[in-house]
Structure 1
Amino acid sequence: MNLKEEIIKLKEELDVTLVAHFYQRDEVFELADITGDSLELAKRAKATDSKFIVFCGVGFMGESVKVMSPEKTVLMPKIACCAMARMIDEGYYEENLVKINEAGISNDDILPITYINSSAAVKARVGKMGGMVCTSSNAYKIIEKGLKSGKKIFFVPDRCLGQNFAKSLNLKSAIVGDGSDLKEADIICYNGFCSVHQQFTVEDIEFYREKYPDILIAVHPECDPKVCDASDFVGSTSQLITYIKELPEDQKVAVGTEFNMVNRLRTKNTYILSSTKPECPTMNETTLQDVYNTLKSIKDDNIIKETEIVVSEENIKYARLALERMFEV
């Protein structure tokens, strides 16, 4: 029996749901019971009756499942790190607040909003300050709701998302630490970014438009604002999937997001918007062997300590509050 067959057999025997993000390797993705983007996975994992959730993705995603389903045992075959999420922690969050205060803006005049790509600890800090979580697909609604408070939005950790959404809403944005005027901004952005989506450039778009005059360009809002401005469609992971699947088969499209996902979209007339392979290295760390080892540890009642996601009760409480405020919107 090969590794794939062993995994299928263990899944049938155990009270477990195998979950995988869109960016996972094909061999892992294909075996998952639930696939999707980060928030969708947390919501669907919560809805299962399984005692064990085996989550294939990056650390902050496993934490989101634990925050929403603290009664479940959440295991990650590989607790890989999202580079963007790692750019901010509680310490950096506080340092940025100090810089904002030094610019003449008090905490009482700030409403923090954190992108889902952040740790439970950061989400909890945002929740304590009355803030919310957002995703790339609902950020417009969340920011619009936040602005009704009359406060400035402190958007963490992705500056590109913050800038792109500010521009789409005809608002002013500024980045902490780059010398821009924070007092003039409606949305103050933390200076983080996604290393994969930074690979796409306006030059890439120009190359494809010159080669295929009728081609469409579709990108993720984690891309640089200049890239988003030059594209035909900007949308979240799920929005990109819907947009591309609804295109006529003969319509060429170049896509600016992670390689594994784009590669699965459709077989014809779909191109990667990059001269290099935009593959998320940490999303590709999880292997079939890792999945098997985790499932086997459940069967043997000998869970590998390093695979279990643990979040403190306080962080669960306040991170969940930030998530619930998003769901209300």
Structure 2
Amino acid sequence: MPTLDTAINGDPDTGADLTPYGGVTADAAWAEEIRSLAQQRDAVLLAHNYQLPEIQEIADHTGDSLALSRIAAESDASTIVFCGVHFMAETAKILSPDKTVLIPDARAGCSLADSITGEQLREWKAEHPGAVVVSYVNTTAEVKAETDICCTSSNAVDVVASIPAEREVLFCPDQFLGAHVKRVTGRENLHVWAGECHVHAGINGPELAERAAADPDADLFIHPECGCATSALYLAGEGAVAEGRVKILSTGGMLTAARETNAESVLVATEVGMLHQLRKAAPETDFRAVNDRASCRYMKMITPAALLRSLRECADEVHVAPEIAERGRASVQRMIEIGTSGGGE
């Protein structure tokens, strides 16, 4: 039977203990125990596209956070084990309030979700009375509760376009997705919060330009959270890359495009965990990261040992206060009713 241990790996910025659970190999014995425990717990295993490959492979469902939360809500399982970061497990709890939701490591946070708090949003709303708040689904439950309509990267434009033109819009928390929405809609009364995902922000324009120049026939799959999204459109506008090869896509949109592309190679600007699903979707295509260092340490905290611990001990359970969940659920449901939620974040 596998045993658990840890390795020293604190957060250099905050001093918080982010030591991942270790000491377990994702071998056949591990997989057998995971499946047996999941059955005992009446649990469905969900894994985000950015998870370690071995976590993705053991999961019942793999995808983006919103799609997984909706799958969980429709599942007959009484327990949801969400292999992702904390706001994702919160969203699953919001949509499935009567189910037990576990995250294998509750310390797995998100720099983007942490870039705005409920209090900060309330203060921002007070500065713009009457404005409609649109929040990316990559936010905490508290922020969702202060939000009028949530959005994903694939339906953010549709959500904002659904709001009367004369109404101010407060868009949070991702500045790059907000800039993309403002560029597409041309909306001048859209105010964007200056938040970012540290991983996506680190995929920069010069790096993209260099990689694209070295492989001019490659398709470019660019997540709108990336700091290089504007650069990708500039490269297309300047003719450095064929316009049809630049695709601004959510993670789910990337999978759809992977199955449809005729390109021999694709440069991918998002967290590197996405490459596993893309290569499975189109094994004949050469998918390569624009930045192979774009790995989220929080996503990678969901180790084989962490998943085993969670199922053995029913740890860590996620709770959302009922009144917060009710208000947050309303903002998510409004999002689903407008356009299509598509491939999620």
| Normalised-by-shorter TM-score class | 0.7 to 0.9
Q: Give deviations 1:211-240, integer Å, cap 9, x for gaps.
A: 122222110011134234236110100001
- Write out aligned runs for 1:1-329 (5 A): 2-79=29-106, 80-98=108-126, 101=127, 106-108=128-130, 110-126=131-147, 131-146=148-163, 148=164, 150-172=166-188, 186-224=189-227, 225-229=229-233, 230=235, 232-248=246-262, 251-266=264-279, 267=283, 268-274=285-291, 276-297=292-313, 303-304=314-315, 307-329=316-338
Residue aligned with 1:196, SS: helix
In the aligned structure 2, how far is the partner of 1:154 from the partner of 1:228? 25
Q: Give deviations 1:85-121, integer Å, cap 9, x for gaps.
A: 01111122133335xx2xxxx412x000000000111
Alignment match, 2:21 = none
In the aligned structure 2, how far is the partner of 1:115 from the partner of 1:9? 36
Is the Cα–Cα contact under 8 Å of residues 89 and 122 in structure 1 kept in the other structure?
yes
1:309 partner amino acid: V
Q: May I ask how many residue pairs the two structures share in their alignment?
A: 295
2:146 partner amino acid: R
1:52 partner amino acid: T
Is the Cα–Cα contact under 8 Å of residues 164 and 221 in structure 1 kept in the other structure?
yes
In the aligned structure 1, how far is the partner of 2:149 from the partner of 2:50? 25
- How far the C-alpha of 1:72 sits from its partner, in A, is 0.2
Q: Give deviations 1:119-164, integer Å, cap 9, x for gaps.
A: 11110011xxxx1000011111111112x26311100100111111
In the aligned structure 2, how far is the partner of 1:22 from the partner of 1:65? 16
- How far the C-alpha of 1:295 sits from its partner, in A, is 1.3
Is the Cα–Cα contact under 8 Å of residues 132 and 326 in structure 1 kept in the other structure?
yes
State percent identity of aligned pairs: 32
Is the Cα–Cα contact under 8 Å of residues 255 and 277 in structure 2 kept in the other structure?
no
In the aligned structure 2, how far is the partner of 1:314 from the partner of 1:271? 44
Is the Cα–Cα contact under 8 Å of residues 21 and 36 in structure 1 kept in the other structure?
yes
In the aligned structure 2, how far is the partner of 1:14 from the partner of 1:90? 34
Runs of 4+ in 1 over 6 A off after TM superposition: none
Larger CA deviation: 199-208 vs 75-84: 199-208
In the aligned structure 1, how far is the partner of 2:142 from the partner of 2:50? 24
Is the Cα–Cα contact under 8 Å of residues 122 and 146 in structure 2 kept in the other structure?
no
Is the Cα–Cα contact under 8 Å of residues 4 and 288 in structure 1 kept in the other structure?
no
Is the Cα–Cα contact under 8 Å of residues 96 and 190 in structure 1 kept in the other structure?
no
- How far the C-alpha of 1:244 sits from its partner, in A, is 2.0
1:92 partner amino acid: Q
Residue aligned with 2:198, SS: coil
Q: Give deviations 1:289-329, integer Å, cap 9, x for gaps.
A: 111112122xxxxx44xx11111111011101111111221
Residue aligned with 2:301, SS: coil
2:115 partner amino acid: M
Is the Cα–Cα contact under 8 Å of residues 49 and 277 in structure 2 kept in the other structure?
no
In the aligned structure 1, how far is the partner of 2:231 from the partner of 2:105? 32
Unaligned runs of at least 5 residues, structure 1:
173-185, 298-302
In the aligned structure 2, how far is the partner of 1:208 from the partner of 1:254? 8
Unaligned runs of at least 5 residues, structure 2:
2-28, 237-245, 339-345
Q: Give deviations 1:59-99, integer Å, cap 9, x for gaps.
A: 1111111111100010111121011001111122133335x
In the aligned structure 1, how far is the partner of 2:45 from the partner of 2:196? 29
Residue aligned with 1:83, SS: coil
Is the Cα–Cα contact under 8 Å of residues 221 and 268 in structure 2 kept in the other structure?
yes
Compute the RMSD of aligned alpha carbons: 1.6
Is the Cα–Cα contact under 8 Å of residues 21 and 56 in structure 1 kept in the other structure?
yes
